[in-house]
Structure 1
Amino acid sequence: MSRWLSNPDILLEQGAVHRGFAERGDLAGLARSVIEAACHNGCMTGPGAEAMTWLRQLPDRDRLELAGIWAEWHARTVAAETPSAEAFRRNTSYLKAELLVVATGVARGLDPDLMAAERQAVLAELAGQHVAFGHREWELAEAEIEAGRIPGPAVLAAFRRTVVDYHAEPALRELLTRFPGPVLNPGEAWADQALEDAAAGGEPWHRLLGHRAPISAGAPSAKWLDAGRDLLDAAGPESVRRRAHQWFELVGRERAVPLRGSLGPAAYDPYNVQALRALAWLLSLLPPRDDTCDALARLVATSLRGLPRSGAYPVRVAEAGVVALARIGTTDARLELDGLRRQVTHKTVLRRIDRALAA
């Protein structure tokens, strides 16, 4: 069964059934109806956004009673006790996940401690994963944030990678606008060093690292470059150059703790890739120097070294390095591009190098 429900008419039919139970005052029936719908619709849909909004508009007493019913079912639905899970045509772990998310969503804002330990256990597990690919875990994080218990940076990192890698879930995107955390995802050697340096450098450095390359842009726009110049001036252009050279040396090193579900310990973090591309572009705004051209060329070579097993993101970094060298356009930059032309075998990057040399 799909993780998303593609037929909105089913959600409308389910909503009518839910309202019928509510009008009759049958909260036990409503509780069962909602979970039946959630188990039918797929783990990324659950009862549906409109159904959850409607449930949260019920009287507070009813919301708490419903959440209590689901919390009780969750507590007694253990691995050895499967009939209730079978009744919903799902396995026990699936049912428990839906019960947790739905109870959390309906009780949010009323009882922050209801199933808090269960939420925190799920989020702790998520912290070691490449992406959130389960049951709308962002709704659990939403409840924790609202309760004043901010999940750690590793949870935020998984959500960020989820948005970049898999889907544009509106609720998750909206949550990320309110989820405090570091400007980069920790875990990669270069990003950890950049975060440490930014902490010492203060707000100008955080804003510089936050000036990310647009995901779909192959080259920086004039507006992006204008903003970048201001950020370089605030942080100190030569300080940025020195730090960026050092960070580039750390790119591609294996993570100390690999993420479950990633392409391997040296896989690039897709969220951090946009900051890394931006740094390459920003270096092209500085007065030309041969050591910067060398640093950019080595960034290109490093990013292509692990292909094809390292995925598509290193290619985007390599392309950014080529774009930066092309923008610099000096003899040293062209020599580096010519050297890359003889080494690179990736066709997309090679075409970009050829265009740069032909300009």
Structure 2
Amino acid sequence: MAQLDLIAQSARRHAAAQEWDELGVELLKLAVANRGVWNAPGAGLLDELRALPAQRREALADALVAQYHSAEAGPNARRNALTLIGVVTHDLPGERLLTERLERLDELGRRQTFWYLERQEVLAEAELAAGRTLAPAVVAVFRRAALDAYRDEALPALAAKLTEPVLNVGEEWAEQALRDADGVSEWQDLLRHATTATASKSSAKWEKQARALIEPLGADRVREAVVPWLALVGRRTFELERGQYEGDVNNSFDPYNANALRGLVWTLALLPSHQDTVRALGGLVETALKKVPGLGPRNPKVANAAVGALSRIDGAPALAELARLATRVTYKGTLKLLDTALETRARALGLSREEIEELAVPAYGLTEVGRTERQLGEVTAVLEVRGTRVALGWRSPAGKAVKSVPAAVRRDHAEELKELKAAVKDIDKTLSAQSDRLDRQFVADRRWSYDAWRERFIDHPLVGTLARRLLWTVDGTTVGFADGELRTLDDAPLAGDLVAAGVEVRLWHPVGHEPAEIVAWRDWLERHAITQPFKQAHREVYLLTDAERATGTYSNRFAAHVLRQHQFNSLAAIRGWRNRLRLMVDDSAPPATRELPHWGLRAEYWIQGEGENYGEDTTESGSYLRLTTDQVRFYPIDAPENSASTYGGEYRMWLPNGTDPVESLPIADIPPLVLSEVLRDVDLFVGVASIGNDPTWQDGGPEGRFHEYWTSYGFGELNQGAETRRVLLERLVPRLAIADRCTIEGRFLHVKGERHTYKIHLGSGNILRTPNDQYLCIVPAAGSASPTTGYLPFEGDRLLAVILSKAMLLADDTSITDPTILSQL
């Protein structure tokens, strides 16, 4: 700052002496030294220059033009010279450096934004003063910059003059809206009104004006235009340059257009209820909450507006979409709005939150469990659920299966075809959400009367495709669904006296059951070729250990691991845990926590940021790349919150005045089902997010400091999930085409190839090969298809598919063509 003050003082002396060439040099020095930012002391100096008489400003402008063209001026000096010329010539005749100014504006149009203290608005003001319009991309950057301007009037005042185009270009939805509105004043007025949606909620005044603008267009016409626009949200028409401290700007929302999106969402809420509207709003929530590196969710404000609109729309489809989103959304603010909306609906109907979610699941036109047929002329459309996906097939008039959509259907039944394809997408989304919801019922300890359970689960056209693949306890008797009936372990139909309306039904959990019974049910599922939507009969069980009895109030079972922080954070949110990203600049943070209201408990997983080097151990924004893990503890749900330094140290309970500390509960007192499910979550976090299962970390990461951990995890003892995988592979491997080349020994699947023998670790998927257990790095391709293995008893174990894919590849190692793998063989 002292250097800047000295330069500013020198500039003032030259200005007083009317030494314009010297003043120009000093001004550019000041601008370059302060990186083009005109704050103190530069801001006051600009005000003084503006106040100079016109003749003196002309002399200074000419001096700056000379400096611009001088051999000594670099690109930074030239950019600042253009700004300074704009400042001092704001009301002078003639245009200096016009071509250069237009080129600079074109450069600005390729940026996301700029800091208002750069004073780039003088370039735009010069164009407007000359009677010319700005290019749409340039208008867009000034509008975005105006939204970021802090205690500044110049940029917002300029943005207020930039009324065309109505929306910012660069986003596909906005450009489509501009094309649709071109030459139609009613559409222009509606879009302009949408851009004024800058508050968190619409006001009565805003809605009154919106209704008046909808009327000349008609509700149907508005919906039929806006819904397709929402489907385009998230796509860009041209790329923006990323600034030094900006995140992935091309995957974020234009903030000016985001206001318009919010306004259009509010507008849809004023229209009559329609399935297309509901579908579009639900999709917008998910698009707006998609996470962008360096930024977080794309635009929670738009997502929240869409949830608010859904909560105002009457009818079962909107309720179903709210319930579906509640199982998928992890962003805290939006999830709170979803919870409030569902609880409000539940109270209005005199139901519990759980009941409203169960009753809200639509059938999507399915007329029987997992299936429906629809006649379209002479062709029959068949919609059929297979696992957690739905297939749309066709039959000719002769009853023969047809692979593609018949031409007659495309020609004569376009609307019905469109709706069928939309139903396929809806069913796929809902099946995934319902599978997750059912998986969470273990800890919820939900119970139903037989009649209600039968209606909402077993016989529900959609949920029944999941429920019929699970095990249930009916009045204490475990049953599964096979051959059209509920059956016991010996395949006998469920006795009639157990299906009375008052009989209690629960989701079966292996905790508390003898190992022989669990194995018998696994055999039953295999005998009936039932693939469960998630692990149930094969679910890992985490029983209290002697070590945990000894520690008393905590578990160290999953301590001392190194996890990728952002992956851990995403997994925690999906599993219903609350967590905050650790930033190196933060003082403290609470542990990852999961509240268990049914049990009055709160589980905590203690974690801390790992590393000390900013930029190497953190992202550009300062969040840690990795975490180290510590204890799992349990507290009463209303106990004060613990916190610890983000970079390590003891967890302490934050206590309001006069509040006594609350000790963690004896781990032996935690109900076995709760303990098992919480530790299963934590095992999942470690199993997926650990750097030990990353084949590219052989070198141990930065400075090799994780090599010992990577080796011990990547080839060490199996955790509970890996033990489950080993037991399954023992049954599965003998059925494989490569069975004669495979054996399971301890922690490894051994595969005999022609070149070498290989050992695939069942916990990490890492590979050792002969001779001398040399490490072999094979990185699975993203989205690679799972190998054909025949029957699998459950869905969702990606690492199982990776291990099998590697085994298939290595068993035929003479056919490998990948040069990266060949170089290691």
Alignment TM class, shorter chain as reference: 0.7 to 0.9
Alpha-carbon distance between aligned partners in 2 of 1:282 and 1:215, rounded to the nearest angstrom: 10
Alignment correspondent of 1:220: 202
Alignment correspondent of 2:65: 71
Q: What is the deviation of 1:199?
A: 0.8
AA of the residue aligned to 1:73: Q
Secondary structure of 1:210's counterpart equals helix
Aligned residue pairs total: 335
User: Comparing 97-106 with 239-248, which one deviates more in the overlay?
Assistant: 97-106
Alpha-carbon distance between aligned partners in 1 of 2:9 and 2:93, rounded to the nearest angstrom: 25
Q: What is the deviation of 1:343?
A: 2.1
RMSD, aligned α-carbons: 2.8
Rate the CA distance shift 1:284–1:298 in 2: closer, same or farther, 3 A: same
Extract unaligned runs of 5+ from structure 1. 86-91
Conserved in 2, the CA contact under 8 Å of 1:273 and 1:313? no
Secondary structure of 2:194's counterpart equals coil
Alpha-carbon distance between aligned partners in 2 of 1:233 and 1:263, rounded to the nearest angstrom: 40
- Select which of 218, 238, 241 maps to 1:236: 218
Q: What is the deviation of 1:17?
A: 6.4
- Select which of 145, 156, 159 maps to 1:162: 145
Q: What is the deviation of 1:106?
A: 0.8
Conserved in 2, the CA contact under 8 Å of 1:56 and 1:106? yes
Q: What is the deviation of 1:118?
A: 1.4
Alpha-carbon distance between aligned partners in 1 of 2:38 and 2:133, rounded to the nearest angstrom: 24
Q: What is the deviation of 1:51?
A: 3.6
- Select which of 198, 206, 216 maps to 2:188: 206
Rate the CA distance shift 1:322–1:52 in 2: closer, same or farther, 3 A: same
> Where do 4+ consecutive residues of structure 1 move more than 3 Å?
13-17, 20-42, 46-54, 165-169, 212-216, 308-313
Q: What is the deviation of 1:256?
A: 3.2
Provide the identity percentage.
36
Q: What is the deviation of 1:353?
A: 0.4
> Deviations for 1:60-89, whole angstroms, at most 9, x for unmatched residues?
22211110111101101x4xx3xxx6xxxx
User: Comparing 181-190 with 331-340, which one deviates more in the overlay?
Assistant: 331-340
- Select which of 108, 117, 120 maps to 1:137: 120
Alignment correspondent of 1:358: 343
Does residue 1:114 correspond to 2:96, yes or no?
yes
Conserved in 1, the CA contact under 8 Å of 2:278 and 2:317? yes
Does residue 1:260 correspond to 2:254, yes or no?
no
Which of the two has higher C-alpha Rg?
Answer: 2
Does residue 1:43 correspond to 2:26, yes or no?
no
> Deviations for 1:76-131, whole angstroms, at most 9, x for unmatched residues?
1x4xx3xxx6xxxxxx3332222221122212332442111111111111111111
Alpha-carbon distance between aligned partners in 2 of 1:264 and 1:17, rounded to the nearest angstrom: 38
Does residue 1:185 correspond to 2:168, yes or no?
yes
Alpha-carbon distance between aligned partners in 1 of 2:226 and 2:9, rounded to the nearest angstrom: 54
Alignment correspondent of 2:81: 99
Alignment correspondent of 1:319: 304
Conserved in 2, the CA contact under 8 Å of 1:213 and 1:220? no
User: Comparing 48-57 with 222-231, which one deviates more in the overlay?
Assistant: 48-57
Alpha-carbon distance between aligned partners in 2 of 1:175 and 1:237, rounded to the nearest angstrom: 35
User: Comparing 40-49 with 93-102, which one deviates more in the overlay?
Assistant: 40-49
Q: What is the deviation of 1:168?
A: 5.5
- Select which of 234, 239, 245 maps to 2:227: 245
Rate the CA distance shift 1:219–1:94 in 2: closer, same or farther, 3 A: same
Rate the CA distance shift 1:112–1:355 in 2: closer, same or farther, 3 A: farther
Alpha-carbon distance between aligned partners in 2 of 1:213 and 1:156, rounded to the nearest angstrom: 15
More strand by share: 2
Secondary structure of 1:129's counterpart equals coil
Does residue 1:307 correspond to 2:291, yes or no?
yes
Alignment correspondent of 1:279: 264
User: Comparing 103-112 with 244-253, which one deviates more in the overlay?
Assistant: 103-112
Alpha-carbon distance between aligned partners in 1 of 2:278 and 2:262, rounded to the nearest angstrom: 15
Alpha-carbon distance between aligned partners in 1 of 2:16 and 2:301, rounded to the nearest angstrom: 55
Extract unaligned runs of 5+ from structure 2. 345-825
Alpha-carbon distance between aligned partners in 2 of 1:331 and 1:186, rounded to the nearest angstrom: 37
Conserved in 2, the CA contact under 8 Å of 1:112 and 1:143? no
Rate the CA distance shift 1:222–1:167 in 2: closer, same or farther, 3 A: same
Alpha-carbon distance between aligned partners in 1 of 2:151 and 2:143, rounded to the nearest angstrom: 11
Rate the CA distance shift 1:291–1:39 in 2: closer, same or farther, 3 A: closer
Alpha-carbon distance between aligned partners in 1 of 2:238 and 2:157, rounded to the nearest angstrom: 29
Rate the CA distance shift 1:165–1:104 in 2: closer, same or farther, 3 A: closer
Secondary structure of 2:214's counterpart equals helix
User: Comparing 277-286 with 49-58, which one deviates more in the overlay?
Assistant: 49-58
> Scaled by the length of structure 2, what TM-score is found?
0.38
Conserved in 2, the CA contact under 8 Å of 1:270 and 1:313? no
AA of the residue aligned to 1:227: Q
Alpha-carbon distance between aligned partners in 2 of 1:291 and 1:328, rounded to the nearest angstrom: 12
Rate the CA distance shift 1:27–1:356 in 2: closer, same or farther, 3 A: same
Q: What is the deviation of 1:170?
A: 2.1
Conserved in 2, the CA contact under 8 Å of 1:326 and 1:334? yes
Rate the CA distance shift 1:117–1:248 in 2: closer, same or farther, 3 A: same
AA of the residue aligned to 2:330: T
User: Comparing 149-158 with 260-269, which one deviates more in the overlay?
Assistant: 260-269
Rate the CA distance shift 1:44–1:312 in 2: closer, same or farther, 3 A: farther
Alpha-carbon distance between aligned partners in 1 of 2:329 and 2:122, rounded to the nearest angstrom: 44
- Select which of 322, 326, 335 maps to 1:337: 322
- Select which of 56, 60, 65 maps to 1:62: 56
> Scaled by the length of structure 1, what TM-score is found?
0.83
* Higher relative contact order, chain-length normalized (CA < 8 Å, sep 6+): 1
